[in-house]
Amino acid sequence: MVFQFIKSSYKKVKSALARARSFLGTKIKSLFSGKIDEHTLEQLEQTLYEADFGVKTASELTKKIRELHLEHPSYKTQDYLNALKTELVKILKSCPSTHREYSELPQVILIVGVNGNGKTTSVAKLANLMVQNGHKVLVGAADTFRAAAIEQLEIWANCLKIDIVKGSPKSDPAAVVFDAVSAAKARQCDVVILDTAGRLHTKTNLMQELEKMRRSCKKVSPHSPHETYLVLDATTGQNAIDQAKQFHHFTPLTGIILTKLDGTAKGGIVIAIQRELGIPVKFIGTGEQIDDLEPFDPEQFVDNLFD
Ligand SMILES: Nc1nc2c(ncn2[C@@H]2O[C@H](COP(=O)(O)OP(=O)(O)O)[C@@H](O)[C@H]2O)c(=O)[nH]1
Ligand SMILES: [Mg+2]
């Protein structure tokens, strides 16, 4: 795949997770530094739950710590933290891969999600990552619902010096998708990234429009879209999971871009999303700038969540 060699920046992830770390790391360390009893374990479970890990993970991790305490009464704070980290990395790595190997170019990436989650910004950030890695990129402005959305992507495309294909406001987004993928193919691009209008996951007709866009992709390139990424806002907690379930019901998702991790103290949502949906988090948004997107790396993420 076009991004398999892109490495995540430890520094960026560390700084984006500063809030989550100060909430979670500080609380958990103080819990482990005292005597471990049923009350401490209850508080641990509550803290994990509050950090959006989800009920299942919070209870499993607590059970694990209880067992460890019985087996190794002399364990210190760091031993428990290490055990938590190991368990979390195991959970994150157990998410089945959605990747299908099709070497055809251009690789087509469809970006979907509700309004304001960070779709257009993520399209630009992804394009930037690809350009940095030597790929020829084209973006398609298939959010024809608002003229401002087309302009927003156009500004990014100009700034990145990459091609953009756009339709006129209110035109059929499926037609823009067709034109963008066709142009990318004709211009021998490596990747085409398609921005779409924000849609509420509860509106069936808008969800069906996504299917039409997918059919447009297939008319040009039968295995495409190769990736369909749902953009979720990490600050919305459980609602992000409901959104993902609905989108996945209507259109098969291959990955999640989780934005605004820099704006939340509840980093556990990454684990809840992967576990409850079985869809891998592929990228995380670490800020508003063009280079604030990192490929998701479980070890790096978990490390920076606690220490
Ligand atoms: N702090 C932060 N802000 C983000 C991130 N991603 C997007 N945003 C901001 O979220 C707002 C909505 O983004 P936009 O891409 O227009 O959302 P769209 O409606 O889904 O296309 C903008 O102000 C972005 O700068 C992120 O990772 N971190
Ligand atoms: Mg947008």
10-residue stretch averages of pLDDT, the chain, 307 residues long: 71 91 89 90 94 93 95 92 94 78 86 96 97 96 92 97 94 97 98 93 82 96 95 92 91 94 89 91 96 94 89
Give residue 14's pLDDT. Answer: 92
Give residue 99's pLDDT. Answer: 64
Predicted TM-score of the model (pTM): 0.94
| 119 Cα–ligand 1 center, Å | 7
CB-based contact 193:228 (threshold 8 Å): no
Give residue 98's pLDDT. Answer: 67
| 110 Cα–ligand 2 center, Å | 13
Give residue 266's pLDDT. Answer: 87
Give residue 1's pLDDT. Answer: 57
Give residue 100's pLDDT. Answer: 65
| 292 Cα–ligand 1 center, Å | 11
Residues with CB under 6 A from ligand 1: 113, 115-121, 198, 231, 259-260, 262-263, 285-288, 292
* Size of the chain in residues: 307
Atom of ligand 1 nearest to the CA of 284: 27
